[in-house]
Amino acid sequence: MITLLAPAGIPEVSPGDDLAALIAHALAGEGIGLEEGDVLVVTQKVVSKAEGRVVELASVTPGDQAREWAERWGKDARQVELVLRESAEVVRMAPGGLIISRTRHGFVCANAGVDLSNAPSEGVAVLLPLDPDASAERLRGQLVARGAGPLGVVVSDTFGRPWREGLVDVALGCAGFAPITDWRGTPDLTGRELQVTATATADQLAAAAGLLMRKDAGIPAVWVEGVALEGTGRVRDTLRAPAMDLFR
């Protein structure tokens, strides 16, 4: 059995806030102490805010490409400039002004993960963490230092994907377990080697937590109990190099 709970009472997060303390306090308010094998799924947005990955749009000087694209689609040129800066490669600049790009981390997503909604205030953009696996590991260390058992941490974000409408929550980073559960060499019930060889456990955790993260409610963290965690690893190492991608 798996249980998921979104603790109430996590306040708006600002640069420099002790996110581990805020989350541990909120969980304690629900009577939850983090124990071995529990998982905490935390949205990228609060992690980025706590880490100071916020940019005043007033401080951004857009370049020619950003100005041109913004004018063409009625966008804020400073926001477009941030998206281009965060991108290692633009996959597509789509009608309507949406930019699909590969971020410096290797994530393919809309607007390089630069977020204006739910940002702390008007005129501020929230960028993805510089190293989401390191963010997860740091948060995990801080929670363990506060008395948590050896838990798993996932830093999640909400991404679109090819071929299907609707966005899903995926793992940008993780700590305390392997993001991929490897079934290679495991026989199925009839003794045949399994056709499904590797499950993206970190992504499934992010998606499960996403069920509680109603977009109008500002839910920054979800506690998960009852998932079998194995191994260790980083999300970064599970991103496919473009040349290795079978799907295109």
Q: Give the Cβ contact number of residue 242 at 10 Å.
A: 12
238 binding a copy of itself? (CB under 8 A): yes
| Residue 143 CB, nearest approach to a copy of itself (Å) | 21
Tell which positions 109-138 bind a copy of itself, by CB under 8 A.
Answer: 115-119, 121-122
Told to check if 1 binds a copy of itself by CB under 8 A, we report yes
Place of tokens 């996110």: 19
Between 20 and 125, name the residue whose CB sits nearer to a copy of itself.
Answer: 125
State yes or no: residue 90 binds a copy of itself (CB under 8 A): no
58 forms part of the interface with a copy of itself (CB under 8 A): no
Which one of the spans 58-66, 67-75, 82-90, 188-196 is the region binding a copy of itself (CB under 8 A)?
188-196
Contact 127, 50 (CB under 8 A): no
Contact (Cβ atoms closer than 8 angstroms) between residue 40 and residue 154: yes
State how far the Cα of 28 lies from the Cα of 46, in Å rounded to an integer. Answer: 19
**Tokens in use for 11?**
């306040």
Distance, in Å, from the CA atom of 246 to the CA atom of 239, rounded to the nearest integer, reads 13
Supply 33's token pair. Answer: 């102490």
Is-contact 132 139, C-beta < 8 A? no
- Binding region for a copy of itself (CB under 8 A) out of 51-59, 68-76, 148-156, 184-192: 184-192
| Residue 245 binds a copy of itself, judged by CB under 8 A | yes
* 5 binding a copy of itself? (CB under 8 A): yes
List, as own/partner pairs, every contact residues 193-200 make where C-beta atoms lie below 8 angstroms and the sequence separation is at least 24, other chains included: 200/171, 200/238
Task: Decide: is 92 part of the binding site for a copy of itself (CB under 8 A).
Answer: yes
The 8-class DSSP code of residue 152 comes to E
Q: How far is the CB of 78 from a copy of itself (least distance, A)?
A: 16
Nearer to a copy of itself, 147 or 162 (CB): 162
Interaction between residue 203 and a copy of itself (CB under 8 A): yes
Q: Report in angstroms the alpha-carbon separations of 7 from 22, 54, 99, 215, 222.
A: 11, 25, 34, 15, 7
Q: Which is nearer to a copy of itself, 145 or 243 (CB)?
A: 243
Please say which residue, 135 or 201, places its beta carbon nearer to a copy of itself.
201
CA-wise closest residue to 26 among 42, 12, 10: 10
Q: What are residue 87's DSSP bridge partners?
A: 103
156 is a contact residue toward a copy of itself (CB under 8 A): no
State yes or no: residue 72 binds a copy of itself (CB under 8 A). no
* Residue 187 DSSP one-character state: B
Does position 240 bind a copy of itself by CB under 8 A?
yes
Q: Does 28 bind a copy of itself (CB under 8 A)?
A: no
Q: Does 198 sit near a copy of itself (CB under 8 A)?
A: yes
